[in-house]
Chain A
């Protein structure tokens, strides 16, 4: 059973650019949640996808968008990058929307210059 994987591991972008982060769910999991973790803070919920539909969203602007594919892998897209978008982006997969069964990936470290 493979765990949750994320790519790339690290990424450097400049302000105004667009970025796509990828997440491969644990086998059999149909739910993916994305989180942003700024330095020295806990993860902040961005949104969740369940069976390819958005199933809840945190307090993030529309330039943060996502997709979930039929194989339940997922993408997080961020447009018009700002310096404050620099953070660790975590995805977590689960068998369903239940919060206690989430399995986190190692994260993608995004730096915006």
Chain B
């Protein structure tokens, strides 16, 4: 059962522009959402998270937006840099369960 979906396998943007990565989920019981970044031959690295009681969380160039009614979250990267090129995973969990569900990932390429 794929409770977390990233429908865009890849995204290409120009350096300096905004990157928007999208994620949808089906389980309304999820109350914590995370984004991870993964470079080749490395494990995923935590990027930013958001609790279901918020609709926006910002950390430098990275902002995550949560729309609970649409069961949708997005990650905005502004401005995009070539070093941001990686695979980005969206993940969701329930506080009382240690069972984090991941999307399939979106490969972001930022062109100089």
Chain A interfacial positions (CB closer than 8 Å to B) = 4, 33, 35, 40-45, 48, 55-56, 58, 90, 92, 97, 99-107
Contacts and interface: CB of A to CB of B under 8 A. Distances in A.
Interface residues of B, number: 24
Contacts of B41: 106
10 contacts: A4-B43, A42-B91, A42-B101, A44-B102, A45-B101, A48-B98, A55-B98, A99-B91, A100-B49, A101-B46
Which of A4, A42, A105 has the most C-beta atoms of chain B within 10 angstroms of its own C-beta? A42
A99 B34 contact: yes
Interface of B: 4, 6, 32, 34, 36, 41-46, 49, 89, 91, 93, 97-105
A87 to B, nearest CB: 13
B34 A42 contact: no
Contacts of A43: 44, 89, 102
| Interface secondary structure of A, over-half rule | mixed
B89 A42 contact: yes
Contacts of A56: 97-99
B32 to A, nearest CB: 6
A107 B87 CA distance: 15
Contacts of B99: 45, 56, 58
B54 to A, nearest CB: 13
B29 to A, nearest CB: 15
Given A43-B44, A99-B32, A104-B45, 15 more contacts: A33-B98, A33-B100, A42-B89, A42-B91, A45-B101, A56-B98, A56-B99, A58-B99, A90-B43, A92-B43, A99-B34, A100-B32, A103-B46, A104-B44, A106-B42
